[in-house]
Amino acid sequence: MTSIFDESGQVIPCTVIEAGPCYVTQIRTKERDGYEAVQLGFGEKKERLVSKPLRGHFAKAGAKLARVVREFRGNGIAEMQPGQEFTVDRVFAKGDVVKVVGTSKGRGFQGVVKRHHFGGGARTHGQSDRMRAPGSIGSSSYPSRVFKGQRMAGRMGGTQITVRNLTVVGVIADSNLLLIKGSVPGAVNGVVEIHKLTTQQ
């Protein structure tokens, strides 16, 4: 993340995202696939690292060997052509409201205090080893089991997270960069999906 100044001199925290160029690798149609969507490829990959079937898939569309392939639904898919290029300024403009979908940073095996914001136990009053303990996980003879969904320690992070209602504060067309106000899920250099929202959600 970094920050920029707006017209009035206010500092705006923002995330810099390389958003494009993306190439249309396939068009999904109602007749053939049962749904309408556009498949976009982003990034580049060396030829020897792409499997032969995928190479054929990209060649058919006349697109570059993409690192990431994702499908998007929306309007105007019927007019798109395989191999068509999308640059950041064709899709986004300053002031747009977007949602960003990404994979959050993996935190490994974490206790309940970090993972579920439990309060932990008392540090004093004769306690020992209770500081970050979860406490009771249920009643005893009835129900004689632990309910499903009981929050416990375990793997944290590394899951899909969506952040809605982020604002585009800048578009730099020549380097395909998008400036989004606030933070987005995932690590530096991670891959995210950006969806334009027509209304606030």
Partner 1 sequence: MEKIKLVEATQMKSGIPDFSSGDVLNVHVRVIEGDKERIQQFQGVVIARHGAGMNATFTIRKVSDGVGVERIFPVHSPRLAKIEKVKEGHVRRAKLYYVRKLAAKAIRQKTNA
Binding site for partner 1 (CB under 8 A): 2-5, 8-9, 11, 16, 18, 170, 172, 175, 177, 179, 188
- Which CB atom, from 168 or from 179, has the smaller least distance to partner 1? 179
Task: Extract the tokens encoding 25.
Answer: 């690798």
- Which CB atom, from 121 or from 170, has the smaller least distance to partner 1? 170
Least gap, CB of 32 to partner 1 (angstroms): 38
Least gap, CB of 163 to partner 1 (angstroms): 19
Strands 85-86 and 68-72: unpaired
CB crowding 127-136: b at 16 or more within 10 Å, else e = eeeeeeebee
Assess whether the previous peptide bond of 143 is cis (omega < 30° from 0). Answer: yes
- Which CB atom, from 11 or from 49, has the smaller least distance to partner 1? 11
CB 113 within 8 A of CB 120: yes
Least gap, CB of 5 to partner 1 (angstroms): 5
Least gap, CB of 3 to partner 1 (angstroms): 6
- Which CB atom, from 163 or from 172, has the smaller least distance to partner 1? 172
- Which CB atom, from 65 or from 177, has the smaller least distance to partner 1? 177
How far, in Å, CA of 81 to CA of 168, rounded?
Answer: 27
How far, in Å, CA of 48 to CA of 60, rounded?
Answer: 18
Least gap, CB of 16 to partner 1 (angstroms): 5
How far, in Å, CA of 135 to CA of 151, rounded?
Answer: 11
